[in-house]
Structure 1
């Protein structure tokens, strides 16, 4: 039996690859992160997607930690900064944090990175700078502003990661509420008495309530 002749494609007829660069590596890593989650963020997988060897990536990034920081920063470019005319300093502070939460929620991998990666890069720094400016505008300075900004971002990242993780796993508030309804009221009297409140308003209202609590604590420490 004769095998059909194989068609050999000349290298010259293949589309030219985009030259390797830090930007291309970061964009590719972000796509893998979106499609595969944190498991996709490996030097081996990124190199394979770029049709190159892992060692070639280290010309542009020192290690996976540094690359993760660049990917996080690139993913934060969609955060919206309210203008100086949009309400009070607190309203603008809460609005930028809500935008930050939304961006992280829509990209679960980025939400996870925000909890495990030291933020560097222009977008990350711009968000922190904006938050510090609003806190200063509200009369919060020095250590209270520095630690407060970190706490506010950590809270937003945690909420985004929790909500996106629930969605990925199909865990709904109805399921959580049902588990509370079946609890032994004698063994868990407080949970039983507050079971409706514990799963109420799981959205922007609850998020902003948390921001209010944190900000109130920061203002008290400032005094």
Structure 2
């Protein structure tokens, strides 16, 4: 008997990814379709997020993209939460974790955070899934294990290092979520115009409007991550 989705999920948490048996399918003209597997579900889900954003990803939308019914998906994943966990796990698995170096630990942890940021930015809004990703998933645990090893190599106290990982990943998640909403926010010129129109009871905001709205690319990200890391010592 094939393992249930719940059993496969439990196995992923304990021993790594367990492949699900493919489900053979027939198309309308009796031609064969690509079998449904966990990997096929993940790949298709990423495609939807890349094109339409994370908010568009539902089990019904995913089933439509795979030309199947929702019940077929539940033969491979437990629920949407399980799917989110698989998506974040896939992204975390692609992050290159360096061998901890006491002399370069700051640059190493900055580099890992930047890799995670870049992975999330490939798929608009995907960091929303990271907020609920199970901490027992081996791929996500691999990332936190690597980050912990880097901070400990830098002689950071274990409790401080543990909370720093939480703070850094939360910031990366929030930064990427904000980036996915950028097209809904006013541009810098509009914000400057609004600041200039403020009454004189906001003297500092009006005087330093340029500084408050400055920064291109990932300037603010780099500043914040380094600020957090420098505060650990």
Q: TM-score, normalised by structure 2?
A: 0.77
Residue matched to 1:205: 219
* Uncovered stretches (5+) of structure 1, i.e. residues with no partner: 1-8
Residue matched to 1:95: 111
Q: CA deviation at 1:216?
A: 3.3
C-alpha spacing 1:176/1:105, structure 2 compared with 1 (3 Å): farther
Matches within 5 A, 1:124-203: 124-166=140-182, 168-169=183-184, 171-184=186-199, 186-203=200-217
8 Å contact from structure 2 (residues 50, 122) kept in 1: no
8 Å contact from structure 1 (residues 69, 119) kept in 2: no
C-alpha spacing 1:100/1:193, structure 2 compared with 1 (3 Å): same
8 Å contact from structure 2 (residues 188, 213) kept in 1: yes
**Greater helix share, structure number:** 1
* Uncovered stretches (5+) of structure 2, i.e. residues with no partner: 1-27
8 Å contact from structure 2 (residues 46, 123) kept in 1: no
Q: CA deviation at 1:182?
A: 2.4
Matched, 1:217 2:205: no
Distance 1:61 1:143 in 2: 35
Aligned length: 206
C-alpha spacing 1:192/1:131, structure 2 compared with 1 (3 Å): same
Matches within 5 A, 1:49-64: 49-64=65-80
Which moved further from structure 2: 117-126 or 46-55? 117-126
8 Å contact from structure 1 (residues 112, 161) kept in 2: yes
Distance 2:178 2:114 in 1: 15
